[in-house]
Amino acid sequence: MFNKFINYAKYSSNLKNIKSRSKNDMKYTVETYTIDKDINTNIANLKTVFGSSDDIVYREFTFGVNKEIKAILCFVDGLIDKALIDEYLMKSLMLNIHIDNYDPSLDEAQNMFSHIKNFVINTVELEEINNFDKGIGSILAGNSILFINGCNSILSISAKGGKTREVTQLEAEVSIRGPRVAFTEVLRVNTSLVRRIIKNPDLTFESLILGNKTHTDITIAFIKGIADLKVVAEVKRRLDNIHIDAILESGNIEQLIDDNPFSPFATVGNSEKPEKVASKLLEGRVAIFCNGTPFVLTVPYLLTESIQVLDDYSSRPISASIIRLIRCLAFFITISLPALFVAFASYHQEMVPTVFLVATAASREGVPFPVFLEAILTEFTFQLLRESGIRMPKAVGSAVAIVGTLVIGQAAVEANIVSAPMVIVVALSGVTSFIVPTLFDAVLVFRFILLVLSGLFGLFGIAIGLLFMLTHLCYLESFGTPFMSPFAPLNWYNLKDTIIRLSIRIGVGTDENTAKFESNYKSSSNNNEESSGDET
Amino acid sequence: MKKICCLLLIILIAFNLTGCWDSDELNELGIIMGIAIDKDTTSGKVIITSEIVNPSSLSKQSPSGKSTIEYVTTDGNTVTEAINATTKEFDRKNLLSHIKVFVISEEVARCGVNDIVDFIARSNDIRRFTSFVVAKGSSAREILGVNGGIDKIQANYMSSIIKEQITNLDVAAPNFFDFLKKMPGDRINPVAGVFGIVMKNNLPAEQKSNSIDKVDKLIGAAAFKKDKLVGFLDYSETRGYNFIIDDNHKGIYNIPSSKQDNKYLSIYMEKFRTKITPFYINAHISYNIDVKLEASIVQVSDASDVSNLKEFNDLNYTVSEYVEKDIKKTLSKIQKELKTDILGFGGCFYRKYPKEWKIIKNQWNDLFPTVNVSVKVKTKLKRTGLLLKPLDGVKENKIDFK
């Protein structure tokens, strides 16, 4: 495993040499500009950079006791909170609050600059920027930039605003119990949602910017002392190696840092639940937040996570275990049921109970297609209906359902184009596929692979297909962790929370990570000992 | 990339070469449910009657007017040839794996069923736990052609009867696998179930066109010597046979009342364990049969008071006596008349005296009818049912705990 890791590192370092470019050198502008003392040059430069974009606002004004200092405020319309700027920046400057006690000795302009920075502008976030390019980035990030005549530094005032989506209820991962809040598109809101759950100084957020054109904000989160620093470093390294123009959402990152881009199994997890991400962080995983997406990535991602649902932990262990077993079963049903039906109906008639065989034969009388073709057609129709149901506007969605059930389902059976058992089989495999939604990609691929194999070789083909899948699963790794762990390599202790869930009491304080975390936790804050989910 | 393409191409071509070679569509198959085997006396050919399901008659969407089962009769020099010839006159390919029942006619059974058993055992389609019965009084195809039950498929009707045989003490119909194991005949000889046709008077409420219908009925058992039928056991003889060898059966056992004529006590046999012990003393072979019965009283027709302990104990002895009588009757029939070791005496002897068995092995057929058998039956009645006293005698009898 480790050798592979090293090989991968070597491979990607080679890759890095080819297109050697560090993130810090990321440029917003092609030409290099410097901040000129003359404000007019700066305006001219700004206007060349932004061109004719009319959402950039340049507000020229003068301030000072004698209204002798010329200044420009520059920002992107719609990204800032204008009320804040009016109240705390423009008002302070224009009404000369605190400006009159300024001492104009020494270097006049620089002194004026630090005076304004330290005494005049009364906003929380304020940054001095000496680099013109950084200033451009700051404007695009939604800050307001203040140029003062005669200074070769600029002030970046953070008063972000504008319309974004509110924190709303869960949509993709619905849960019966547990918090209702879901992540939004705004990165800071998302990190704050997690911070609210894990009140611990060890929770670390590290930011970087990805996308040569989009300059998307990315934040890596992990808990020091729990997360494996090797994994953290690996995540950073892989993110650093991304050289792409656009990062539009976390799904793009997912594919760029995935261990096996060609595998149907995703080895990077995602969630829109702050609670889930927090629990994964507490398990030592690394989370990747991406601005503009309500889905947060978590790595390493293991196969067992696809059958774990937060609700399991709030229901009784026995019922949770039963439900997990049902989910496992659902996974096997959804990938193999159509294939099994085809195998039994066209190769292994002797293995079916007689009554069932006669009933199946009765329903298949007069069906024009061989059972394999019938299965492929029905499955294909189901996928068509599913896809159109998702993509349709909600108002039309119900129409698709009616067409699907009545026309395709009932009418096709009555017209003897497909047999009723086949409709049942495909419907069952369709329903069960929604039980393990995170494995949907893999389910789709392997269902068709198994179907074709069973059409060609019967049960023998299904066995080959499942073996192939198992081998592939054992081969997969997610950031150095085997995808199948704790099943392969087998770890008896960690099996307590896989296809069955034992009581939460088992293992409290005994697991190495938990113990470590608790000791850190106690030393850092004694007051916050209460469980983390209370306030959210 | 080139290599991968080559590999994919090879795999694709391989699919074309071998794919689907043994695939059968369900609507091209004729599911054979039962087979009757008769013999043409003049030409000596085997006549096979296959009972094939017509699935479309069971289909809900487009039920065809045809009946649920179709019979196809073919002949040939061997069973295999005859079965294979089915497709000459029937439009579906044979599917043998769901055959529920084989009915052999008496003549065929008397001539030997070795070839039939060989065909069934050699086939990798036919299940070993299928039923293997002999037709008595009528030809095999007539037995297979009678459906007196609810199930639309006739073979299911027969196999259900065979499955429920264990609720009767006086029939025996082991499955084919049992027959196959015993057919070599050196230590034990096989037994097969027997079906006969009986008439049944229909009642108006049944709304049937005929006033009299035929139904299949299990009659006793058929005793074989190696692969040849040697004779039939009637009901009471089969009961004795079951007491000795087959402890699966349960059911009602009647003993005549000692108090009143034509009155009976009914006992439900719940459990019996039989132990056959051979003795080889001074080159003289004898057997002990120990039967331990557990039973309960289910009906008392005479005035016996089963709550009376003395009477109850006496009843135990009476049951033992009658069972003993039954077993002895069976033994004399098997030893004197049939002369075939269907009781497994040879096997018992072999297990206890393996060295001596080698000596007497070849003369066993002659020795078997002559061996002495002593029978010992011990009965334990466990329950008397919900009634203790006879209904008409409640007032006269007092409870006596003596």
Report, as an integer, the average pLDDT of B181-208. 91
Instruction: Flag if B56 and A354 touch (Cβ within 8 Å).
Output: no
Q: Which of A350, A359, A365 sits opposite B125 (nearest CB)?
A: A350
All residues of chain B having their beta carbon less than 8 Å from the beta carbon of residue A373 are none
**Predicted pLDDT at B66:** 79
pLDDT given for residue B316 in this prediction: 92
Cβ-Cβ pairs closer than 8 A, A with B, add up to 86
Q: Return the residue matching tokens 């209460």.
A: A530
pLDDT (tens digit per residue) in A421-445: 999 999 999 999 989 888 988 999 9
Task: At A176, list the tokens.
Answer: 């019966």
Q: How confident is the model at residue A530 (pLDDT cuts 50, 70, 90)?
A: very low
Task: Report pLDDT for A19.
Answer: 47
Residue ranges, CATH 3.30.300.210, chain B: 235-402
Give the residue from B26, B150, B159 with the most A CB atoms within 10 Å of its CB, the best one to mutate.
Answer: B26
B25–A354 C-beta distance less than 8 A = no
What pairing do the DSSP bridges indicate for beta strands A296-299 and A269-271?
antiparallel
Question: What residues of A are in contact with residue B29 (Cβ under 8 Å)?
Answer: 349, 361
Quick one: tokens of B384? 């008397």
- Give the residue-averaged pLDDT of A404-411: 78
| Unique residue bearing structure tokens 């009476």 | B318
Q: What is the pLDDT of residue B168?
A: 92
Quickly count: other Cβ atoms within 10 Å of residue B285's Cβ.
20
Find the mean pLDDT for residues B234-244.
93
A465 vs A96, more confident: A465
Interface touch A361/B125, C-beta < 8 Å: no
Q: Helices A317-346 and A459-475: crossing angle, nearest 10°?
A: 140
Provide Rg for chain A, Cα atoms: 30
The Cα-based distances of A321 to A199, A210, A236, A308, A502 in angstroms read: 30, 41, 36, 10, 8
CA-CA-CA-CA torsion sign (B162, B167, B170, B176): positive
Q: What is the CB-side half-sphere exposure of residue A120 using CA atoms within 13 A?
A: 28
The minimum CA-CA distance between B97 and chain A, rounded to whole Å, is: 5
pLDDT in tens, B246-304: 778 899 999 998 888 888 889 999 988 999 999 999 888 999 999 999 999 998 888 77
For chain A, the domains span: 39-157, 187-301, 314-481
Contacts of B31 in chain A (CB under 8 A): 349, 354, 357-358, 361
pLDDT tens digit sequence for B125-151: 899 999 999 999 999 999 999 998 898
Residues of A in contact with B19 (CB under 8 A): 455-457
Q: What is the pLDDT of residue A527?
A: 46
Q: Could you give the CA distance from residue A370 to residue A532 in angstroms, rounded to a whole number?
A: 58
Question: What residues are paired with B372 via a beta bridge?
Answer: B286
| Per-residue model confidence (pLDDT) at position A395 | 77
Alpha helical stretches, state H, B309-353: 309-332, 345-352
Helices (H), B342-401: 345-352, 354-360, 364-367
Helix or strand run (H / E) with residue A475: helix A459-475
State how far the Cα of A47 lies from the Cα of A45, in Å rounded to an integer. 5
B235-402 CATH choice from 3.30.70.1400, 3.40.50.2300, 3.30.300.210, 3.90.550.10: 3.30.300.210
Is residue A298 within 8 Å of A306, Cβ to Cβ? no
From chain A, the residues in CB contact with B56 under 8 A are 362, 365-366
Query: Are the beta carbons of B168 and B216 closer than 8 angstroms?
Result: no
Provide the whole-model pTM: 0.82
User: How many Å apart are CA A400 and CA A390, to the nearest integer?
Assistant: 10
Interface of B with A (CB under 8 A): 15, 18-20, 22-27, 29, 31, 33, 53, 55-62, 95, 97-98, 100, 125, 127, 153, 156
Q: What does the pLDDT read at residue A21? A: 46
> Which has the higher per-residue pLDDT, A163 or A534?
A163
A140 close to B (CB below 8 A):
no
**Does pLDDT of A63 surpass 50?**
yes
Pick from A121-125, B102-106, B183-187 the range whose average pLDDT is largest: B102-106
Cβ neighbors of A244 (< 8 A, separation 6 or more) are A210, A211, A212, A252, A256
Say how many C-beta atoms besides its own lie within 10 A of residue A168's C-beta: 12
pLDDT of residue B224 exceeding 90: yes
Q: How many CB atoms lie within 10 A of CB A492?
A: 7
Query: Stretch A514-533: mean pLDDT, rounded?
Result: 52
Contact A93, A123 (CB under 8 A): no
Has residue A534 got a pLDDT over 50?
Answer: no
Return the pLDDT at A422: 92
Cα–Cα distance measured from residue A291 to residue A190, given in angstroms and rounded to the nearest whole number: 9
Q: A346 and chain B: CB distance < 8 Å anywhere? A: yes
Q: Is A20 on the interface with B (CB under 8 A)?
A: no
pLDDT tens figures, B325-383: 999 999 999 999 999 999 999 999 999 999 999 989 899 989 999 999 999 999 999 98
pLDDT on residue A178: 81
Question: Torsion angle, CA of B28/B34/B39/B40, rounded to 10 degrees?
Answer: -50
3-class secondary-structure state, position A85: helix
Kindly tell me if the per-residue pLDDT of A328 is higher than 80. yes
pLDDT of A103: 64
CA atoms within 13 A on the CB side of A454: 29
Spatial distance between the Cα atoms of A60 and A69, rounded to a whole number of angstroms: 11
The shortest CB-CB distance from B27 to any of A357, A367, A458 is to: A367
Quote the CA–CA distance of A142 and A146 in Å, as a whole number. Answer: 13
Q: Does residue A494 register a pLDDT over 90?
A: no
Lowest mean pLDDT among A158-162, B230-234, B360-364: A158-162
* Cα–Cα distance measured from residue A400 to residue A391, given in angstroms and rounded to the nearest whole number: 11
CB nearest to A358's CB, from B15, B55, B97: B55
What pLDDT score was predicted for residue B394?
45
Higher pLDDT, B59 or B37: B37
The pLDDT > 70 percentage for chain A reads: 86
A370 touching B, CB under 8 A? yes
pLDDT at A101: 63
CB contact under 8 A, A357 and B62: no
